[in-house]
Amino acid sequence: MGKYKVVWRVKARRLYINHLSYAYQEFGTKAFYKWADSVCEMEKRLQDYPRAYTKIPELCDMFHEYRGHIVMKNFKIIYTFDEHRKEVNHLGYAHESGQAGSNG
């Protein structure tokens, strides 16, 4: 099958870094590392299994299959993947309350 390359959109990466910074400032180094480790584990899993996480049917269309993974109980990382290019693209975050974080 081969490994997929994990790619972050610029806005999604920036938002992720902001959330890491917030976690560090509000909750300390333990929360910071827990969040960062959780995302690293997700990326490692996606390299081999891009379909590993749950589909988000509300976002799916005929060209893209959007999926998401919940991090730290409150944030869902949203991604899609391209089988031909062997890429997983992180598009952004959604707060579990429904608040969108980034879309590209």
For residue 88, is pLDDT > 60? yes
What is the number of domains present in the chain?
1
Mean per-residue pLDDT, 34-54: 93
Q: Whole-angstrom Cα distance, residue 69 to residue 39?
A: 9
Mean per-residue pLDDT, 79-92: 90
How many residues in the chain? 104
In a domain, 103, yes or no: no
Contact 47, 6 (CB under 8 A): yes
Mean per-residue pLDDT, 49-58: 92
For residue 99, is pLDDT > 70? no
In a domain, 100, yes or no: no
pLDDT of residue 40: 93
Range of the domain at 9: 5-94
In a domain, 104, yes or no: no
Contact 65, 78 (CB under 8 A): no
Give the SS3 label for residue 87.
strand
Mean per-residue pLDDT, 55-72: 86
Other CB atoms within a 10 A radius of the CB of residue 27 amount to 13
* Residue 63's CATH number: 3.30.2310.20
In a domain, 102, yes or no: no
Indicate the pLDDT class of residue 63, thresholds 50, 70 and 90.
confident
In a domain, 99, yes or no: no
> How many Å from the N-terminal Cα to the C-terminal Cα in the chain?
27
pLDDT of residue 74: 80
